[in-house]
Structure 1
Amino acid sequence: MAEHCKISAAIVAGSQEKSCVLKIDRYSRAKALLKNGEGLTSAPFSVGGHDWTIEYYPNGYPKDCTDFISLYLALQSAGAEDVNAKYTLSVLGKNGELLPSYSRTPNAIRTFSRGITSWGYHEFIKKADLEALAHLRDDCLTLRCDITVIHAQETSVPPSDLHRHLGDLLKNKDAADVTFQVGGQPLSAHRCVLAARSSVFKAELFGAMQESSAASPIEICDMEADVFKSLLHFIYTDSVPPEFDVVMAGHLLVAADRYNIGRLKLICEEKLCSHIDSDMVATSLALAEQHGFRRLKDACFQFLTSPSNFEAMTASDGYEHLKSSCPYVLRELIARIIPTEFKSAKDIIMTI
């Protein structure tokens, strides 16, 4: 069955370190033909003097992973002993962009040997999430493997821990020189760090508010204290906090937009796009429309093209808010759902 589907691999660059872009042609056919535990293997590619392949299981491996795609990096060099490597396995979007939410890196260097020839992820990505996000282009799934071979004589430079030191600075409030009052709570920070990470904070803290902010706390309205704490956590560590869920992503998306923190906006929008359901879609659509988040709006529209999803949305808690705050987006949605042959009906709806 595997002859009907294939993995094509292309090396991007490097010698000891390389990126390999892999394309799973006919994703849907591979999923239909291959059972759980059956996979495809890419053509070998060479990195650091060794041959490697990617093993792709469209219906998971082992047996308890049928809802997931499993993905593994495998050493193919015969007789190789204890090959140390760092690697990252990622999903690429329709336009070849890296999707941070679907990029997996082990927390330690892996050793490939005769006993353990492959490393990877049983639950690399949930099939339903991948298909709901419409990341497939012409039924082709594009993946990327970044691999660095670590030779024994090399000294491995530890990863940067700047985020940890800055996180400790925020936690311990050492030399904090600005205080915010959020939801009745005082929160201390460092104006230089905030200014370096946000053009809005820079304008506020080193502009007209400089003198007043030094004398008294800055009142932050229309934001909960835990959301502002999470915003500060990202500013100092460049990572979202452990309690980052879909609800927090919605609040943080607004906060990131308010303070012009681009990377956080992308992370939050990606989180919301990957967790659209009938309970949350009305709230997410209102958020997208009110703040101009086009990608989130398109994802909501795509979800609501299903009549059953649309009907479930109208029974959700967020529907009344969407109807009262953004009636025009509902008209746009309905006009988009109506088949193109009813153009006159679309024109009438858009004028109501």
Structure 2
Amino acid sequence: MAEHCREIPAAIIADSEERSYVLKVDGYSRTKALLKNGECMTSTPFSVGGHIWVVRYYPNGYPKHCDDFISLYVHNESADAEDVKVKAKLKLSVLDQNGTPVPSYSRAIPLHTFSSKAPDRGYHDFIHKAGLEGSPHLRDDCLTIRCDVTVVKDILDEEARIPPSDLHRHFGDLLGSKDGADLTFQVGGRGFPAHRCVLAARSSVFKAGLLGAMAESSCSTIEIRDMEPDVFECLLHFIYTDSVPLLDVVMAGHLLEAADRYDIPRLKVICEEKLCSHIDSNMVATSLALAEQHRFHRLKEACLRFLVTPSNFKAMIASDGFDHLTSSCCWSVVEELTARIIRLNSAEDIIMTFRK
């Protein structure tokens, strides 16, 4: 019995490595006579994807009921370790006299995870011996089998090794340390050191004021009026870190105005979403007035949908918010709300109360 094996050089494809290994069994008849059912001939080890593999050839089959077949298995020796898992695809083929795989004697195994619990894959009925022995593929008592092993890298595991971006943390540290700050904002009696290049990169309004031809571009101290210090502090935090702390509804409203004032679109969306998801009879009038004054269309629509329900409308009428709405909004939004209620509810008693 003689065995001749050769490896075909590996091909590296994106996220995988493939290698072909050829097992040549010289003396097919003698091998079949010497090895009983369940006994195998093992190839020399070969490497694919950083793991060691062998081919196990059972000339009289394995297990017992397969003694009419040749069984063939590919074993991953690296998987003997409990913490090793290897994903691979296999293709097992008998080669003809020209070294070409024979389709009728070719079997493919889809992606399989080799581990200590499942270290090998193959076929117990790979070739029916009687059919092979009457075919032209057994020449000069020699059988040639090719094993293609493709090890697939776990892309998710590769990505997991890449740490998440910490750019926001570094800029947050820069804001907190005040290192390199080249201007200070005065807001409600508090000073806020900042970096004009960071502000200009994040806000078109700050860019025009700090890097443009305006008077503020050369100032080292800038006063911000009509804004509370805690609102400006939250605004700066978002500019540097692209994140906001947990917001209550009142702060979300103030921060939405600030985001609109300095043209920070993502912050506007975050704050508008917060207000849209926390509409109640106590805050709806204030939110609707804010939406109308600053053209926050999504917030306005959410408020109107809330108010067309008669019970919600009555609760808003009973609150102080109704006076705020009628005094701060133009009457177009009041008329729009009136029209919706009439169309959807025909609640004339509510409309009369509203018009008073």
Query: Could you tell me the TM-score, scaled by structure 1's length?
Result: 0.53
- For the residue of structure 2 that corresponds to 1:176, the secondary structure is coil
2:211 and 2:217 in contact (8 A); partners too: no
Query: Structure 2 residue aligned with 1:181, among 177, 186, 190?
Result: 186
Query: Which stretch shifts more, 323-332 or 233-242?
Result: 323-332
Q: CA 1:296–1:341 in structure 2 vs 1: closer, same or farther (change >3 Å)?
A: closer
1:178 and 1:213 in contact (8 A); partners too: no
Query: Structure 2 residue aligned with 1:301, among 299, 304, 311?
Result: 304
5+ long unaligned stretches in structure 1: 1-14, 17-80, 84-147, 343-350
Query: For residue 239 of structure 2, what is the amino acid of its counterpart?
Result: I
Instruction: Please report how far the alpha carbon of residue 154 of structure 1 lies from its aligned counterpart in structure 2 after TM superposition.
Output: 6.7
Query: For residue 299 of structure 1, what is the amino acid of its counterpart?
Result: A
Q: Which residue of 2 aligns with 1:268?
A: 271
Matched, 1:150 2:150: no
Instruction: Please report how far the alpha carbon of residue 217 of structure 1 lies from its aligned counterpart in structure 2 after TM superposition.
Output: 1.6
The CA distance in 1 between the partners of 2:226 and 2:165, in whole Å, is 35
Matched, 1:241 2:245: yes
The CA distance in 2 between the partners of 1:277 and 1:325, in whole Å, is 19
Q: Which residue of 1 aligns with 2:234?
A: 230
2:235 and 2:258 in contact (8 A); partners too: yes
Q: CA 1:340–1:305 in structure 2 vs 1: closer, same or farther (change >3 Å)?
A: closer
Instruction: Please report how far the alpha carbon of residue 331 of structure 1 lies from its aligned counterpart in structure 2 after TM superposition.
Output: 1.9
Instruction: Please report how far the alpha carbon of residue 317 of structure 1 lies from its aligned counterpart in structure 2 after TM superposition.
Output: 2.6
Query: For residue 329 of structure 2, what is the amino acid of its counterpart?
Result: C
1:179 and 1:213 in contact (8 A); partners too: no
Q: CA 1:319–1:176 in structure 2 vs 1: closer, same or farther (change >3 Å)?
A: same
Matched, 1:320 2:326: no
Instruction: Please report how far the alpha carbon of residue 323 of structure 1 lies from its aligned counterpart in structure 2 after TM superposition.
Output: 1.0
Query: Structure 2 residue aligned with 1:330, among 330, 334, 337?
Result: 334
Q: Which residue of 1 aligns with 2:167?
A: 162
Query: For residue 247 of structure 1, what is the amino acid of its counterpart?
Result: V
Instruction: Please report how far the alpha carbon of residue 149 of structure 1 lies from its aligned counterpart in structure 2 after TM superposition.
Output: 6.3
Instruction: Please report how far the alpha carbon of residue 325 of structure 1 lies from its aligned counterpart in structure 2 after TM superposition.
Output: 1.3
2:182 and 2:220 in contact (8 A); partners too: no
2:310 and 2:345 in contact (8 A); partners too: no
Instruction: Please report how far the alpha carbon of residue 341 of structure 1 lies from its aligned counterpart in structure 2 after TM superposition.
Output: 11
After superposition, the C-alpha distances for 1:82-124 in whole angstroms (9 at most, x for unaligned) are 99xxxxxxxxxxxxxxxxxxxxxxxxxxxxxxxxxxxxxxxxx
Query: For residue 228 of structure 2, what is the amino acid of its counterpart?
Result: E
2:168 and 2:242 in contact (8 A); partners too: yes
Q: CA 1:321–1:150 in structure 2 vs 1: closer, same or farther (change >3 Å)?
A: same
After superposition, the C-alpha distances for 1:125-157 in whole angstroms (9 at most, x for unaligned) are xxxxxxxxxxxxxxxxxxxxxxx9633x77610
Query: For residue 258 of structure 2, what is the amino acid of its counterpart?
Result: A
The equivalences for 1:191-210 within 5 A come to: 191-209=196-214
Q: Percent of aligned pairs with the same residue?
A: 68
- For the residue of structure 1 that corresponds to 2:161, the secondary structure is coil
After superposition, the C-alpha distances for 1:292-333 in whole angstroms (9 at most, x for unaligned) are 000000000111111110011112232211111115112210
The CA distance in 2 between the partners of 1:162 and 1:264, in whole Å, is 18
The CA distance in 2 between the partners of 1:154 and 1:245, in whole Å, is 36
Q: CA 1:156–1:326 in structure 2 vs 1: closer, same or farther (change >3 Å)?
A: same
- For the residue of structure 2 that corresponds to 1:276, the secondary structure is coil
Query: For residue 197 of structure 2, what is the amino acid of its counterpart?
Result: C
The CA distance in 2 between the partners of 1:314 and 1:176, in whole Å, is 49
Query: Could you tell me the TM-score, scaled by structure 2's length?
Result: 0.52
- For the residue of structure 2 that corresponds to 1:208, the secondary structure is coil
Q: CA 1:341–1:273 in structure 2 vs 1: closer, same or farther (change >3 Å)?
A: closer
After superposition, the C-alpha distances for 1:182-230 in whole angstroms (9 at most, x for unaligned) are 11111110000000000000000012335x4544421111110100110
The CA distance in 1 between the partners of 2:256 and 2:249, in whole Å, is 10
Q: CA 1:198–1:341 in structure 2 vs 1: closer, same or farther (change >3 Å)?
A: closer
- For the residue of structure 1 that corresponds to 2:312, the secondary structure is helix
The CA distance in 2 between the partners of 1:154 and 1:285, in whole Å, is 45
Instruction: Please report how far the alpha carbon of residue 241 of structure 1 lies from its aligned counterpart in structure 2 after TM superposition.
Output: 2.2
Query: For residue 262 of structure 2, what is the amino acid of its counterpart?
Result: Y
Q: CA 1:292–1:215 in structure 2 vs 1: closer, same or farther (change >3 Å)?
A: closer
Q: Which residue of 1 aligns with 2:109?
A: none
Q: CA 1:278–1:154 in structure 2 vs 1: closer, same or farther (change >3 Å)?
A: closer
> How many residues are paired up?
207
2:184 and 2:192 in contact (8 A); partners too: yes
1:279 and 1:316 in contact (8 A); partners too: yes
Q: Which residue of 2 aligns with 1:190?
A: 195
Q: Which residue of 2 aligns with 1:252?
A: 255
Q: CA RMSD of the aligned region, Å?
A: 3.5
Q: CA 1:324–1:165 in structure 2 vs 1: closer, same or farther (change >3 Å)?
A: same
Q: CA 1:246–1:338 in structure 2 vs 1: closer, same or farther (change >3 Å)?
A: same
Q: Which residue of 1 aligns with 2:113?
A: none
- For the residue of structure 2 that corresponds to 1:263, the secondary structure is helix
Instruction: Please report how far the alpha carbon of residue 246 of structure 1 lies from its aligned counterpart in structure 2 after TM superposition.
Output: 1.2
Q: Which residue of 2 aligns with 1:115?
A: none
